[in-house]
Structure 1
């Protein structure tokens, strides 16, 4: 794992232009928790990463539910929770709670509890819940790593892009098992790839080859003048300073879950190539014109070919406590 890479310098300059000097100064805080909060707790944050693309979200939906227009929340309720009522769901590291709001809209749930350290995001989600008339939601600002864990309190526990931010994954998964009722479900939609986003040589080679094939019009970084010309991945120092929680033990997630839970389904979602290529340039792929969508299809096909020979970095999984 290199200490510094060329991406560290290029992307730090891009962050300065996108989020300002105050954001960079927040990374000088000695508190690792505070540095993590500064990375996420901003309801006004706009980015140009791949998840902003409707075509990407449709791709994820299709891989999970078989239908690009059908998100996974309704799919889970229909497949695993049909006919049940009075259910309690807890989402750990819930962020802006968009998926939790979707679950709460189903009559199966008596309670949907959102837990995160990002108070501003939870406040925005609470306002959205009030606007939608959802009275079965609860929002709590707390650090899961320091909380007491209940026993047999929930029917469903959800991690959406969150479990890879937790240290001591083995212990966290054990606590989740304790907090679920018999037969309860653990649902993850998460990054399970290399720790600290240390991309493999195969990933970097494939991603750089695709980047070189994109026209210059689609390679200018978001809110910056620079063209994206090369991908080297992040160095160890930037990972620790920018967000000490990012992918800290991501490689341990699947082994820990599979040791304790019965797997009901796992769906690989990719991300191995698209994450790298589209970072900071995804906004160029929002238009729905034929040429732009053709470029996206080429990227999708290249990633699918890569996944034929390499494990997926992103995974949707449903597991049961037996």
Structure 2
């Protein structure tokens, strides 16, 4: 399970955390201070880690930033892209970060007995199909006292949002000044399976699997049910984020997002957490049951062209709309 040939993760994409005000709000939720990000908060809370492992590390920007602020001394990571790993190794060497990287499919990753005092997941575990297996591997890598730190998408699998949540997005978009409205199209499962079948493959299972193997020290929901979609690739609003009108619109979107999260906590899309491996792991019978459930789920999806769940109403309706557009264009 990997992206299509030519698919790139690092491009000129605008996400909600590319807005300064969104970052300030996230900082406040996580650290209590809008000027303290979670990288520095991690160091402030736990000191400097000797050796950190980075899940699906990509081009290595996370470990380099943590190294620069003195949060880690050494880094290891794995990814499925040899090009990104080459870039990660080159840029780590350029700043004096001792780093080692392994080319590996995270769904079959083998730690080979290695141990670390920190494991970091930044937008990585929502790409893992065998999510129970990899969460267990992370717990084993960290031993008794290691820390698992995460900032990741934990919302609806493959962005197949609920009817109620999507309705709120549509309604909020319609209230924005015309120049800040975006063209809304429900996320296409067909397109996602074609371009990157790993995207948000089991994002909504992250917390469940986390609690099987870890004891939480902090878990902070960050929302996103409304704001994430309305700020994504919103070039006009991003350009105007520091202008009075743009700043006011962002504030209104984030306020609506927070209010929706308070009323509908299950609609949370992003979370931050730190956790330690459980002192006592589940017994062999329980582990075996989870392994069998995961294997059966993945084998069933392989037989069904990557689909895990029946099509929802929004997928069907928007799929029909896209088909009509295609016929009209031809």
Quickly name the TM-score band, shorter chain normalised. 0.7 to 0.9
User: 2:245 matched to 1:291?
Assistant: yes
Task: Give me the whole-angstrom Cα distance separating, in 1, the residues matched to 2:21 and 2:89.
Answer: 28
Task: Give me the whole-angstrom Cα distance separating, in 2, the residues matched to 1:122 and 1:63.
Answer: 32
Q: What's the counterpart of residue 193 of structure 2?
A: 240
User: 2:270 matched to 1:302?
Assistant: no
Q: What's the counterpart of residue 91 of structure 1?
A: 54
TM-score (norm 2): 0.77
Q: Is the 8 A contact 2:3 2:198 kept in 1?
A: no
Q: What's the counterpart of residue 49 of structure 1?
A: 15
User: 2:207 matched to 1:260?
Assistant: no
Q: Of residues 68, 72, 75 in structure 2, which corresponds to 1:105?
A: 68
- Give the CA deviation at 1:91: 0.5
Q: Is the 8 A contact 2:60 2:88 kept in 1?
A: yes
TM-superposition CA deviations, 1:129-187 (whole Å, max 9, x none)? 344x2332333333222332233511111111110100111111111111112111111
- Give the CA deviation at 1:194: 1.2
Q: Is the 8 A contact 1:285 1:296 kept in 2?
A: no
Using CA pairs below 8 Å that are at least 6 residues apart, which structure has the higher relative contact order? Answer: 1
Q: What's the counterpart of residue 285 of structure 2?
A: none
User: 2:98 matched to 1:136?
Assistant: yes
Change (3 A) 1:283 1:128: farther
Task: Give me the whole-angstrom Cα distance separating, in 1, the residues matched to 2:167 and 2:78.
Answer: 38
- Which stretch shifts more, 55-64 or 241-250? 55-64
Task: Give me the whole-angstrom Cα distance separating, in 1, the residues matched to 2:34 and 2:236.
Answer: 20
- Give the CA deviation at 1:283: 4.7
Q: What's the counterpart of residue 40 of structure 1?
A: 8
Counting only pairs closer than 5 Å after superposition, residues 63-74 of structure 1 correspond to structure 2 as 63-74=29-40
Change (3 A) 1:303 1:244: same
TM-score (norm 1): 0.79
Change (3 A) 1:121 1:216: farther
TM-superposition CA deviations, 1:84-127 (whole Å, max 9, x none)? 56x21001112233321122235453311232223333444444
Q: Of residues 154, 179, 194 in structure 2, which corresponds to 1:217?
A: 179
- Which stretch shifts more, 57-66 or 296-305? 57-66
- Give the CA deviation at 1:70: 1.7
Change (3 A) 1:65 1:108: closer
Change (3 A) 1:38 1:268: farther
Unaligned runs of 5+ in 2: 280-330
TM-superposition CA deviations, 1:12-61 (whole Å, max 9, x none)? xxxxxxxxxxxxxxxxxxxx4241x64335x5x21233232222222222
- Give the CA deviation at 1:67: 2.0
Task: Give me the whole-angstrom Cα distance separating, in 2, the residues matched to 1:94 and 1:294.
Answer: 35
Task: Give me the whole-angstrom Cα distance separating, in 2, the residues matched to 1:283 and 1:48.
Answer: 11
Task: Give me the whole-angstrom Cα distance separating, in 2, the residues matched to 1:282 and 1:134.
Answer: 36
TM-superposition CA deviations, 1:207-257 (whole Å, max 9, x none)? 1111111122223xxxxxxxx34x352232122112100111112111111
Change (3 A) 1:182 1:196: same
Q: Is the 8 A contact 1:173 1:257 kept in 2?
A: yes
Change (3 A) 1:103 1:246: same
Unaligned runs of 5+ in 1: 1-31, 220-227
SS in 2 for 1:33: coil
Number of residue equivalences: 275
